[in-house]
Amino acid sequence: MTNNEEYINLIKDWIRPLQKSLTLESENKFINLLGRKKYFNDYLCESLCNLDNLKLNDEFIKLFYKFSIRYSEYKNLDINQRKRLVIDTRKGLLKLAKSIDLTYRNDDTNSYYSKFIDSNLSLNSEISLIKSIGKVNKNKLNELGIFIIKDLINYFPRTYLDYTNRVKIINLKPDNLYTCIATIKKFYIYKSKNNSNLAIMNIVIFDETSSIKITKFFLGKRFRSYTFFSTQKNLYIPGTKLAVSGKVKLSEYGKNFVDPQIEILNNNEESYNFSGKIMPLYSLSDSFSNLSFIKLIKKVIIYSKQSPDLLNQKQLDSLSLLSKSDSLINIHLPPNQTALIEAKKRLVFDELFLLQMKFLLRKRKINEKSITQNTIQKRFLLQDFLNKVPFQLTKSQEKVLNEIKYDLSDLTPMSRLLQGDVGSGKTIIATISLLIVLEKDQQGALMVPTEVLATQHYKNLIKYLNPLLVSVELLTGSTPMKKRKEILTNLKNGMIDILVGTHALFEDRVIFNSLGMVVIDEQHRFGVTQRNRLLNKGNNTNLLTMTATPIPRTLALSLYGDLDISQITELPPGRVPITTKIISEDDLDKLFKNVENEIGNGKQAYVILPLIEDSEKMNLSSAKKIFKYLSEEIFLKNKIGLLHGKLNSEEKNNVINSFLKNEINILVSTTVIEVGIDVPNASIMIIYNSERFGLSQLHQLRGRVGRGSHKSFCYLVTSDKNGLDNKRLSVLEKSNDGFYIAEKDLEIRGPGQILGYKQSGLPDFVLDNLPNNKVLIEKAREEAQRVITDDPDLRENIYLKDLLLDNKDNKFIHEFLN
């Protein structure tokens, strides 16, 4: 008898007598029968908390423990409550029985895995307990963030090699995805002559029908090293059998595979197992091979069956979703494409569902607590401020402001996302919103991602607001100790009206007297969690988040489901569109002449670099190097400044101030100036290695020019003359519309790249699958709504509740569910 059967029998032996006594009790109308030795309730109470040798997973342990406590009070329950408890207990036991029976089911997959089952292990077992894992592997896995079996199961494949569409070389058609099994005929690798950063590998493979070339590109200095070349050469020895999977393209030299996935098959039995199947490919460090990782996954995948499920069978049926455990198995070892799609769908659903639950709970909190909101006007600031503003608000600004005013006049706190292109004038909207809250004698916080921007906002606010007797302070990571203490004290006793700052504002010691409004500028740089941490510093805090990197509606819905959205759709009058040009490094000298002319006319320029200093790893220009080059060899007559993140705040301020006053003609900088910096006299921007940046980021960067009424230019310097990158960059040549650019960026790079886990609170895996999942987003919203309506305190959804409570930064969830 195998371990597994023993284990199953153990559980079955535990369940059977319990089920029997539950049946008897219910047949006898819940009178709390006296058995041979004990009363029904005492027997249940003891059995349900005596779980030690059963090795159940947490979900069941918690569930049965709860029941056990209820049985200790059984005598005090009325008949309906007793009935309910008995039914629930039976359901729980049934679920447990099902969960182990599934592992026992003798279908194809399970019989394969069952030989690995070790009943001593569970999802929470350390990976070192897996048979024959070895210390080296354990350490390597730890480096990947994998410590227990659950981590291993939650380490999803990056992509898949689909062996199901296997064809002979002769039958390959351009622009389709195929897998070929073939043998290496020739191998060569060389450094590109056009691009000093690129190596190109060619492999010719053949089968009994024909031959075809594979081309692979390696971008990065290290791929041009001797070591890299020789490892590749040793890997792809002629005669070696390969599985090649990818897109076939037609070039002037005929068909070839461009950048396919390659798997070496030679004499490797395991790999042959995959023919006709879909092979997962994991992101692993160089030292861990994909095949050994798959072997490991096969050893532990069976424990997926222990994974608790957020959704019960009824929900799964009505939503047509796969069970959690099946989706975990299929995400790693999908038997076919349909199974894989269904698995992804289920896993994505869970994340969306949880997110929507959080949104709804937050909304509920807002609605229930809003009565306490302070609405009495105690100060009069707004009109005085508006009298000082040197321009008229645009129609679009007025409209947004009305939306905000409406929100703020209501008892329910505001939760609003303000989207508006670079330079559309979001700052003044933020200022006005803060003043409205201040008039009710509450405080405001303005949070921004960089110190440079924080300082700029701070100075502007002081300029306009100090005359109105509004006190504004600045708190960043580099605020001196003494000043910090003073600020924190005055904040707590209500002496400070507005606190401007960076991430320093999240810290626990930052305590407000009565925080009425949080404004988050450039909100795409912050995460959902961070935003909540700041909001939790007040009660019923109004929230205004602002961004110039808009996201398409579907995404906005799923990521910011709890926010209302406002949009500034026009720029202030008199702006001349920026002209953008892609140029090669060779044309820089000519460009520098133009720059000199512009400077002669009193204008200023930015030069942007991806790095601060030269780096061995990357062949990119650095700010320090270009600063030296420009000041010593090109612009001898002009004053050049250098700005980057490693300067201390005083140095940064000095440079920016000099640039503002036009004492510096050219500012060489890293992307620290990306957000918010406002120097209207600057009219030229040169961005080196522009192919390195995302489109939205480039659009933000170039938004630093074109802020005055004169013509401005942005030059995107690239070393990569042809190919995809220029196609991408040309979007910027053609358009000045941040919304359009963001959509293109999304199309090209996918949401995972653009938003990232941090901002969205969603794994990249989920983000990347979002654009095609509109229906799923809606389903998740509806289901979350239904659950909250039917079961407001989540008494029936214990596991869901646990997951929600797991996130410590969501104070509102704790308030509601604990």
Q: Which residues make up the interface to ligand ADP (CB under 6 A)?
A: 391-394, 397, 420, 422-428, 548, 572, 676, 678, 707
SS3 197: coil
Q: Of these partners, Mg ion, ligand ADP, none, which one is at the site of residue 778 (CB under 5 to 8 Å by kind)? A: none
| Residue (of 168, 173, 240, 231) closest to 203 by Cα position | 240
User: Closest residue (Cβ) to ligand ADP?
Assistant: 425
What is the maximal distance between C-alpha atoms in the chain?
Answer: 103
Q: Of these partners, ligand ADP, Mg ion, none, which one is at the site of residue 425 (CB under 5 to 8 Å by kind)? A: ligand ADP
| Residue (of 394, 785, 372, 674) closest to 541 by Cα position | 372
Rounded-to-integer distance, Cα 395 and Cα 411, Å: 27
What are the beta bridge partners of residue 443? 515
Q: Of these partners, ligand ADP, Mg ion, none, which one is at the site of residue 207 (CB under 5 to 8 Å by kind)? A: none
Using alpha carbons, list the distances in angstroms from residue 113 to 9, 136, 304: 19, 24, 12
Give the nearest distance from C-beta 411 to Mg ion in angstroms.
Answer: 30
Measured from the CB atom, the residue of 332 and 702 that comes closer to ligand ADP is 702
Measured from the CB atom, the residue of 548 and 672 that comes closer to ligand ADP is 548
40-49 and 58-72 are packed helices; what angle lies between their axes, rounded to 10 degrees?
150
User: Closest residue (Cβ) to Mg ion?
Assistant: 676
Q: How far apart are the first and last CA of the chain?
A: 45
Q: Of these partners, ligand ADP, Mg ion, none, which one is at the site of residue 246 (CB under 5 to 8 Å by kind)? A: none
Measured from the CB atom, the residue of 92 and 738 that comes closer to ligand ADP is 738
Q: Of these partners, ligand ADP, Mg ion, none, which one is at the site of residue 422 (CB under 5 to 8 Å by kind)? A: ligand ADP
Give the nearest distance from C-beta 548 to Mg ion in angstroms.
Answer: 7
Measured from the CB atom, the residue of 425 and 761 that comes closer to ligand ADP is 425
Q: Of these partners, ligand ADP, Mg ion, none, which one is at the site of residue 510 (CB under 5 to 8 Å by kind)? A: none
Considering CB under 5 A, how many residues would be counted as binding Mg ion?
Answer: 1
Q: Are 177 and 245 in contact (CB under 8 A)?
A: yes
Measured from the CB atom, the residue of 322 and 454 that comes closer to Mg ion is 454
Name, in order, each residue with C-beta under 8 angstroms of 65's C-beta and a sequence gap of 6 or more: 48, 49, 51
Rounded-to-integer distance, Cα 141 and Cα 129, Å: 13
Rounded-to-integer distance, Cα 143 and Cα 137, Å: 10
Q: Which range, of 109-117, 155-163, 675-683, 706-714, touches Mg ion by CB under 5 A? A: 675-683
Tell the residue number behind the tokens 């390195």, with chain if given. 692
DSSP string, 413-475: PPEEEEEE-TTS-HHHHHHHHHHHHHHTT-EEEEE-S-HHHHHHHHHHHHHHHGGGT--EEEE
Q: Of these partners, ligand ADP, Mg ion, none, which one is at the site of residue 391 (CB under 5 to 8 Å by kind)? A: ligand ADP
Give the nearest distance from C-beta 671 to ligand ADP in angstroms.
Answer: 16
Give the nearest distance from C-beta 676 to ligand ADP in angstroms.
Answer: 6
For the four alpha carbons of 756, 760, 766 and 769, in that order, the dihedral sign comes to: negative
> What residues between 109 and 168 interact with Mg ion by CB under 5 A?
none
Q: Are 355 and 782 in contact (CB under 8 A)?
A: no
Q: Which range, of 49-57, 129-137, 334-342, 668-676, touches Mg ion by CB under 5 A? A: 668-676
| Residue (of 643, 719, 715, 720) closest to 686 by Cα position | 715
Q: Of these partners, Mg ion, ligand ADP, none, which one is at the site of residue 769 (CB under 5 to 8 Å by kind)? A: none
Radius of gyration over every alpha carbon of the chain, rounded to an integer in angstroms: 31
Give the nearest distance from C-beta 478 to ligand ADP in angstroms.
Answer: 23
Give the nearest distance from C-beta 641 to Mg ion in angstroms.
Answer: 22
Measured from the CB atom, the residue of 676 and 706 that comes closer to Mg ion is 676
The count of residues in the chain is 818
Give the nearest distance from C-beta 701 to Mg ion in angstroms.
Answer: 13
Give the nearest distance from C-beta 474 to Mg ion in angstroms.
Answer: 17
Q: How many CA atoms lie within 13 A of 133 on its CB side?
A: 25
Give the nearest distance from C-beta 522 to Mg ion in angstroms.
Answer: 7
Give the nearest distance from C-beta 566 to ligand ADP in angstroms.
Answer: 12
Q: Of these partners, Mg ion, ligand ADP, none, which one is at the site of residue 428 (CB under 5 to 8 Å by kind)? A: ligand ADP
Q: Of these partners, ligand ADP, Mg ion, none, which one is at the site of residue 572 (CB under 5 to 8 Å by kind)? A: ligand ADP
Q: Of these partners, ligand ADP, Mg ion, none, which one is at the site of residue 542 (CB under 5 to 8 Å by kind)? A: none
Q: Are 226 and 185 in contact (CB under 8 A)?
A: no
Give the nearest distance from C-beta 461 to ligand ADP in angstroms.
Answer: 12
Measured from the CB atom, the residue of 145 and 574 that comes closer to ligand ADP is 574
Rounded-to-integer distance, Cα 103 and Cα 80, Å: 35
Q: Of these partners, Mg ion, ligand ADP, none, which one is at the site of residue 125 (CB under 5 to 8 Å by kind)? A: none
Q: Of these partners, ligand ADP, Mg ion, none, which one is at the site of residue 394 (CB under 5 to 8 Å by kind)? A: ligand ADP
Measured from the CB atom, the residue of 456 and 719 that comes closer to ligand ADP is 456
Pairing of strands 498-501, 472-475: parallel
Give the nearest distance from C-beta 397 to ligand ADP in angstroms.
Answer: 6
What are the beta bridge partners of residue 177? 247
Measured from the CB atom, the residue of 548 and 642 that comes closer to ligand ADP is 548
What are the beta bridge partners of residue 434? none
Using alpha carbons, list the distances in angstroms from residue 12 to 18, 38, 60, 613, 667: 10, 22, 15, 66, 74
Rounded-to-integer distance, Cα 554 and Cα 51, Å: 46
| Residue (of 163, 371, 374, 194) closest to 278 by Cα position | 163
Give the nearest distance from C-beta 394 to ligand ADP in angstroms.
Answer: 5
Measured from the CB atom, the residue of 141 and 448 that comes closer to Mg ion is 448
| Number of neighbouring beta carbons within 10 Å of residue 517 | 26
Measured from the CB atom, the residue of 225 and 402 that comes closer to ligand ADP is 402
> What residues between 378 and 397 interact with Mg ion by CB under 5 A?
none
SS3 198: strand
Give the nearest distance from C-beta 815 to ligand ADP in angstroms.
Answer: 34
Q: Catalogue the E-assigned strands of 678-744.
A: 682-687, 713-718
Q: Of these partners, Mg ion, ligand ADP, none, which one is at the site of residue 678 (CB under 5 to 8 Å by kind)? A: ligand ADP
Q: Which range, of 209-217, 592-600, 617-625, 670-678, touches Mg ion by CB under 5 A? A: 670-678
Q: Rounded to the nearest 5°, which phi and psi values hold at 689? A: 45, 45
Measured from the CB atom, the residue of 130 and 667 that comes closer to ligand ADP is 667
Q: Of these partners, Mg ion, ligand ADP, none, which one is at the site of residue 501 (CB under 5 to 8 Å by kind)? A: none
Measured from the CB atom, the residue of 516 and 676 that comes closer to Mg ion is 676
Measured from the CB atom, the residue of 309 and 521 that comes closer to ligand ADP is 521
Rounded-to-integer distance, Cα 305 and Cα 324, Å: 8
Rounded-to-integer distance, Cα 53 and Cα 9, Å: 13
Rounded-to-integer distance, Cα 272 and Cα 166, Å: 13
Give the nearest distance from C-beta 453 to Mg ion in angstroms.
Answer: 8
| Residue (of 475, 465, 540, 550) closest to 509 by Cα position | 475
Q: Of these partners, Mg ion, ligand ADP, none, which one is at the site of residue 397 (CB under 5 to 8 Å by kind)? A: ligand ADP
Query: Does 676 engage in binding with Mg ion (CB under 5 A)?
Result: yes
Measured from the CB atom, the residue of 418 and 770 that comes closer to ligand ADP is 418
Measured from the CB atom, the residue of 298 and 704 that comes closer to ligand ADP is 704
Q: Are 328 and 307 in contact (CB under 8 A)?
A: yes
Give the nearest distance from C-beta 464 to ligand ADP in angstroms.
Answer: 10
Tell the residue number behind the tokens 């059998």, with chain if given. 241
Using CB under 5 A as the criterion, which residues of the chain lie in contact with Mg ion when the complex forms?
676
